[in-house]
Amino acid sequence: YSGEEVVRLQELEGNTVTIHTGLTGVQSDAHILWFYGPENADIKIVISLIIRGEIITDYDSERFRDRLQLNRTSGSLTIRNISREDSGVYKLHIITGSISVWSFSVDVYTPVSKPVIRNQAEKRSVSLRESCSPLCSVENGKDVSLSWYEEKERISSISSSDSSERLYLPLNKTNPDCSTYTCVAANPVSTQTAQLDITELYLKAVEVPESAVLIPAGLIVALSVLFLLYWTKTCKQQGKKYIL
């Protein structure tokens, strides 16, 4: 054999995964072997032989223990409760008169974490709108990306191969309007979203920690609420205009 094609699979940790061969009728007297390795498939994990007309199948790998199941009709291999450590290269050898080889690359992912939106404004600005600068962040991992969506349209995105660093993405809108903004974290097997609540962010922006300034703070909060009510109303009116 030569020039073998590698089939790529992306799976969620904990799932039962079947590596399908697409074959339907493997010769009943074929010898079937599966190999695995993180980079090269050099560890034998399944061996199924016909000896004097009898099928003898061994799953002799410590790593997979009793999680493997071979289907001799298709040559397919089922892996129960797959883990990230099971990522790597899987190879199937079917030996009849000749030897045929299939290769698979399997990537196992954990579900992505939920993104968190915070206000990154440090200064307590007089203008409430200026003090609103949403920053979305998520725990990084393999092939994780973080994006902002305005309505259905992606407006920015970030990813990093350094999984130890948390991912941060500012909304980067000087004046977030009445649109719906969503922050989406994704990897190849899962997505998580956080919806931006501008109202809540404005209120957080005017929170004052020191108890000594309770009265002025209360005043500011009250003013903010008034502002928000006004602002929400304006938004709704704008919305109505659109409808009309």
Ligand X SMILES: *[C@@H]1O[C@H](CO)[C@@H](O)[C@H](O)[C@H]1NC(C)=O
Q: Do 59 and 74 form a contact (C-beta atoms < 8 A)?
A: no
Site for ligand X in 194-223 (CB under 6 A): none
70-105 per-residue burial string, b: 16 or more CB within 10 A, e: under 16:
beeeebbbebeebeeebbbbbbbbbeeeeebebebe
By beta-carbon proximity to ligand X, the closer residue of 3 and 22 is 22
Calculate helix-pair angle for 214-243, 198-205, nearest 10 degrees.
160
Q: Interface mask (CB under 6 A) for ligand X, residues 172-191, using x and -?
A: x-------------------
Q: How many chain residues touch ligand X (CB under 6 A)?
A: 9
Q: 3-class SS at 171?
A: coil
| Smallest distance, ligand X to C-beta of residue 75, A | 9
Q: How far is the CB of 243 from ligand X (least distance, A)?
A: 30
Q: Which residues of 208-224 are buried (b: 16+ CB within 10 A; e: fewer)?
A: eeeeeeeeebeebeeeb
Residue 74 beta carbon to ligand X: minimum distance, rounded to whole angstroms: 4
Spatial contact of 187 and 107, defined as CB atoms under 8 Å apart: no
* Shortest spacing between CB 213 and ligand X, in angstroms: 33
**Nearer to ligand X among residue 26 and residue 185 (C-beta):** 26
Nearer of residues 18 and 192 to ligand X, judged by Cβ: 18
Q: Which is nearer to ligand X, 108 or 206 (CB)?
A: 108
Closest CB 236 distance from ligand X, rounded Å = 28
DSSP assignment of 200-239, as one string?
HHHHHHT----GGGHHHHHHHHHHHHHHHHHHHHHHHHHH
Query: Distance from CA of residue 142 to its chain's centroid?
Result: 8
Q: Please list, in sequence order, all residues whose beta carbon lies within 8 angstroms of the beta carbon of residue 55, skipping any fewer than 6 positions away.
A: 48, 49, 72
Give the closest residue to 174 by CA, choosing from 127, 124, 230. 127
**Stretch of 66-74, 89-97, 123-131, 140-148 contacting ligand X, by CB under 6 A:** 66-74
Site string for ligand X, 151-170 (x = CB under 6 A): -----x-------------x
Contacts to ligand X from residues 67-96, by CB under 6 A: 71, 73-74, 81, 83
Q: How many helices (H) and strands (E) does the chain have?
A: 2, 16
Both structure tokens of 230: 């006004």
Closest to ligand X by CB, 74 or 191: 74
For position 120 contacting ligand X by CB under 6 A, the verdict is no
Closest CB to ligand X among 14 and 216?
A: 14
Q: Which is nearer to ligand X, 170 or 221 (CB)?
A: 170
| Residues at the interface with ligand X (CB under 6 A) | 24, 71, 73-74, 81, 83, 156, 170, 172
